[in-house]
Amino acid sequence: MVTPVEAAVESLRQISTEPPVWLVPKQELSQAVRAASKLLFASLKPHCTKSPFDELLIEGFDAEQIWQQIDLQSQPLLSSLRREVKKFEKHPEEISKLKVDVEGGKKKVLEEIETENVVVNDDDDEDDDIDMDEEDEDEEEEGEEKEKGREEESENEGEEKGGIEDKFLKIKELQEYLEEDEAREFGTNKKKRKAETKKHEEDTEDEEEEGDDEENEDDTDEAEEEEEDELGLFGGDDESDEDDLGNARYEDFFSRKKSKDSEDKAKYRDMLEEDSGSDDEHVDKKVKNQRKDGLSKHEKELDELRSKIEQMEKANLDPKVWTMRGEVTAAQRQKNSALEVDLDFEHNVRPAPVITEEVTASLEDLIKTRISEGLFDDVQKAPTLSSKAPREVKELDDNKSKKGLAEIYEEEFVQKTDPASAPLTFSDELKKEASMLFKKLCLKLDALSHFHFTPKPVVEDMSIQTNVPALAMEEIAPMAVSDAAMLAPEEVFSGKGDIKEEAEMTKADRKKRRANKKRKFKAKAAKRPRANTSVRNSDEGSKV
């Protein structure tokens, strides 16, 4: 009959031929492992009275939770085991009783194994393996494997407690035999421990256990490694076991002056098992690493680790570094210590823009477009509202005033009393002049445009009439110019009386003319300084 444990192990073995497979989580693998762990848990249940769980809850729980459940069961179990060990320490005679039983059980088991059919091969293998174990295998490894196998089986069993033992297989005998073997290998001290552990599992040992053992031992080193990996998965019990073994040291298992053969073989096994990539924290692995050197590599690593741990512990005890202390003022830290630390704080200021070629190019383009468009951001003056009429700015006249003071005050008085009759002020005259000019301009513009006929404004001024063709005055755009002149001949004539030409003149007229001239000249000369007159007279005399 195939127990769930066997099935699980079988499936596991089939799947995982190499440790790398375990790196990737697989559904079927995890399920098989979970089932196996559940059975193991159940098998241990009868031993621990305090555990709250009746069975290992798997559905819907993740690995961490399953671990916790196992741990919860195993903790009180461990304490009870320790008590048992102490008891045995005090009373060593009981151990021998135990041992005998175990051995007996073992022998019985061996006999039964030989005769059985189901696990014949396995039994044979087991025998062979056992022999091998005795001779070649690494002692602890074997023992541990067996232990683990037993643990597995004990957990997995659970339901089939009653049907484990039969006439052929006595668990006690098996136990004793195994203990004996181990005692031979390791020495008497170990025997005790193993005996205790074995004792606990006595009741639950199984053909299947054996089978497992055998299977395990049948397998190649890789399979054994697998099992170790499996056990690594199952974990909880292993660790509990480890705590017991945690105090084991290299020297306990191996003394330097061992036989070379065993050492070599052990080395070989070690090497193979090193490749399995097992957890360094496991005590088993620790011990496997073995070198011929005085201080093993592993030991060196351990020393380093230890020193590191000590350092860290020391650091933890010391007061914290100021950077870790929270709010720190300048007084609480060393001078200039803030400079060495890379501080991170918020900058409220935008960082200065990095001037690259692209930036300058973009700026220049912008400037060029702006210039071409003429779109400058000039400040434009806001237009002021002129609420008041512009005040008359009286210009200071720095010429001598033509009016007398009396006249000025007179005008002022008149303006006060009777503004209407007041003579125009200077500004009014200017206004008048300006309005006159504007009217003239408008007239001219209208005439040019010929749109509206506006007659000339009647200005009663004394204006000078120029002697211009009449039509020029009357027609603005004269098409023809008449010969008729504006002024009459007598108006043009500037002179007095009868005018005679040179030819017409009589002698008397000429004389008269000359006499007039002389008279005039004399009158003029009298006013001028007399120095020049003599010169003039001589000139005049020569003329006639």
Partner 1 sequence: MSAEAPTTMETETVASESKLESNSLPPKPKFEPLKAHEMSDGRVQFRKVSVPPHRYSPLKKYWMDIYTPIYEQMKIDIRMNLKARKVELKTRLDTPDISNLQKCADFVQAFMLGFDVADAIALLRLDELYVESFEIKDVKTLRGEHLSRAIGRLSGKGGKTKFAIENATKTRIVIADSKIHILGSFANIKIARDSLCSLILGSPAGKVYSKLRQVSARLAERF
* Positions in the binding site for partner 1 (CB under 8 A): 391, 393-394, 396-401, 404-410, 412, 415-416
Separation of alpha carbons 94 and 100, rounded Å = 10
If the CB atoms of residues 60 and 404 are measured against partner 1, the closer one turns out to be 404
Q: How far is the CB of 418 from partner 1 (least distance, A)?
A: 13
CA nearest 156: which of 289, 5, 318?
A: 5
If the CB atoms of residues 124 and 411 are measured against partner 1, the closer one turns out to be 411
**By three-state DSSP, how is residue 263 classified?**
helix
If the CB atoms of residues 335 and 402 are measured against partner 1, the closer one turns out to be 402
Separation of alpha carbons 329 and 332, rounded Å = 5
Q: How far is the CB of 432 from partner 1 (least distance, A)?
A: 20
Overall size of the chain counted in residues = 544
Q: How far is the CB of 427 from partner 1 (least distance, A)?
A: 10
If the CB atoms of residues 18 and 410 are measured against partner 1, the closer one turns out to be 410
If the CB atoms of residues 400 and 527 are measured against partner 1, the closer one turns out to be 400
Q: How far is the CB of 435 from partner 1 (least distance, A)?
A: 23
If the CB atoms of residues 397 and 501 are measured against partner 1, the closer one turns out to be 397
The amino acid at residue 390 is P
If the CB atoms of residues 338 and 430 are measured against partner 1, the closer one turns out to be 430
If the CB atoms of residues 327 and 397 are measured against partner 1, the closer one turns out to be 397
Q: How many of the other CB atoms lie within 10 Å of CB of 206?
A: 27
If the CB atoms of residues 381 and 400 are measured against partner 1, the closer one turns out to be 400
Half-sphere exposure of 501 (CA within 13 A, CB side): 2
Q: How far is the CB of 527 from partner 1 (least distance, A)?
A: 24
Question: What's the token pair of residue 363?
Answer: 């700026």
Q: How far is the CB of 398 from partner 1 (least distance, A)?
A: 4
Close Cβ partners of 245 (under 8 Å, ≥ 6 residues apart):
283, 284
Q: How many of the other CB atoms lie within 10 Å of CB of 44?
A: 25
DSSP 8-34: HHHHHHHH-SSGGGGGS--HHHHHHHH
The amino acid at residue 458 is V
Q: How far is the CB of 403 from partner 1 (least distance, A)?
A: 8
If the CB atoms of residues 417 and 542 are measured against partner 1, the closer one turns out to be 417
Close Cβ partners of 302 (under 8 Å, ≥ 6 residues apart):
286
Q: How far is the CB of 404 from partner 1 (least distance, A)?
A: 3
Half-sphere exposure of 344 (CA within 13 A, CB side): 1
Q: How far is the CB of 406 from partner 1 (least distance, A)?
A: 4
Half-sphere exposure of 128 (CA within 13 A, CB side): 11
Q: How far is the CB of 426 from partner 1 (least distance, A)?
A: 11
Buried b (16+ CB within 10 A) or exposed e, 337-358: eeeeeeeeeeeeeeeeeeeeee
Q: How many of the other CB atoms lie within 10 Å of CB of 144?
A: 24
If the CB atoms of residues 390 and 541 are measured against partner 1, the closer one turns out to be 390
Separation of alpha carbons 129 and 493, rounded Å = 170
Separation of alpha carbons 178 and 186, rounded Å = 12
Separation of alpha carbons 490 and 29, rounded Å = 148
**By three-state DSSP, how is residue 265 classified?**
helix
If the CB atoms of residues 424 and 472 are measured against partner 1, the closer one turns out to be 424
Q: How far is the CB of 409 from partner 1 (least distance, A)?
A: 6
If the CB atoms of residues 372 and 401 are measured against partner 1, the closer one turns out to be 401
CA nearest 178: which of 139, 225, 125?
A: 139
Q: How far is the CB of 434 from partner 1 (least distance, A)?
A: 21
> Which bin fits 511, alpha (ψ -120 to 50), beta or left (φ > 0)?
alpha
Cβ proximity of 191 and 183 under 8 Å: yes
Q: How many of the other CB atoms lie within 10 Å of CB of 127?
A: 15
Q: How far is the CB of 381 from partner 1 (least distance, A)?
A: 25
If the CB atoms of residues 1 and 406 are measured against partner 1, the closer one turns out to be 406
Q: How far is the CB of 423 from partner 1 (least distance, A)?
A: 15
Close Cβ partners of 41 (under 8 Å, ≥ 6 residues apart):
53, 55, 56, 69, 70, 73, 155, 158
CA separation (Å) from 363 to 353, 358, 377, 379? 13, 8, 15, 21
